[in-house]
Copies of this chain bind each other. A is one copy, B any other.
Amino acid sequence: MRFFSDNAAAVCPQVLQALGDANRLDTAYDGDQWSARLDDAFSNLFETPVRALWVSTGTAANCLGLAALCPPHGAILCHEFAHIEQDEAGAPGFFTHGAKLTLLPGAGAKIDPDAVEEACGRVRADVHQVQPAALSITNATEYGLSYRPAEVAALGAVARRHGLAFHMDGARFANAIAFTGSDPADVTWRAGVDVLSFGFVKNGGMNAEALIFFDPARAEVVPRLRKRAGHLQSKGRYLAAQLLAMLENGLWLDNARAANAAATALAEAAGHDRLVHPVEANELFVRMTADEAAAIRAQGFDFYDWAPGEVRLVTSWDQDMAAVGRLADAIRAL
């Protein structure tokens, strides 16, 4: 039973069904009927007119979004453990033509408004220093923490004060919403977010993510950037159909709740002292000696060694709750 990564999970049946339903001739690229419905579908969800584009990976979503917000000679402020800094092979540098990532500290990979303030304050306005142009946060964070609307709004305020555009990497946005119970609008545009990478692949999708612009004017150049990066699929309807299927009847939220529930069950078993971070999404970071980890693995459970004395468990939309129960028991028995 694998608790490695939500990327490893299968695709949920409704998404697979949607691919079959979309399987007929239609206009190529994004001229089809499914792609045409995206703006409306996401505008409804976010209660404001948005521009929504499909892309096939979270890295592409993040970096196309950032390229629309930051010039080559600008800087993007992000957490030192942000996915864009740690796990995207330098893609932000590629898509932005060399913009800089300025790294901020923060517990649980969360960014504090003071850290943004401080980073902006350090920069002289002269031509010798790279000027901050954008702020990027991850929600839920790389350590599984979820931002509350007020926290995002505080970041939005400091971003606005310094003229920074505001991007949210929502690879696990659904998990964050499922945990906080926030209105998606409250934690995004109402809090000052300009662009959201809305993840679906980790949440039961196959290979479609949504890139959401809350100010459609900012999106204008993006279809060109997407094509120029080789991300305009010629049969785009199969991406759009995935997203629509995930939105229908709140499937995205149901899937995220299921993954979160599995994580919560494991967190309770682990108990406060073993948890490195609060569990606010579908990831757990658990203190465990090498011997303890080996003992758990011997019972058939797989997971990452994250750091010395620390393992990472990730739960998925389709996690077998019986297996979760057995793992919880195994952890309790340590």
Please report A residues at the B interface, Cβ cutoff 8 Å. Answer: 2, 4-5, 7-11, 16, 19-20, 23-29, 55-64, 71-73, 75, 86-91, 93-101, 103, 127-131, 201-202, 206-207, 221, 223-235, 238-239, 316
Question: Interface on chain A toward B: helix, strand, loop, or mixed SS?
Answer: loop
Residue of B87, B202, B206, B229 near A91 (CB, 8 A) is B229
User: What is the minimal beta-carbon distance from A116 to any residue of chain B, in angstroms?
Assistant: 18
> CA–CA, A316 to B25, complex, Å?
10
Residue of B16, B60, B103 near A23 (CB, 8 A) is B16
> CA–CA, A300 to B219, complex, Å?
36
Closest to A72 in B: B97
Contact B232 A73 (CB under 8 A): no
Contact B99 A93 (CB under 8 A): yes
Across-interface contacts of A89 in B (CB, < 8 A): 73, 127-130, 224, 227-228, 232
- Sorted nearest first, the 9 A-B pairs with minimum C-beta distance are A93-B98, A60-B230, A7-B28, A7-B234, A59-B230, A89-B227, A97-B97, A89-B228, A127-B227
Across-interface contacts of A227 in B (CB, < 8 A): 59, 88-89, 91, 127-128
Contact A73 B230 (CB under 8 A): no
Residue of B20, B27, B239 near A16 (CB, 8 A) is B20
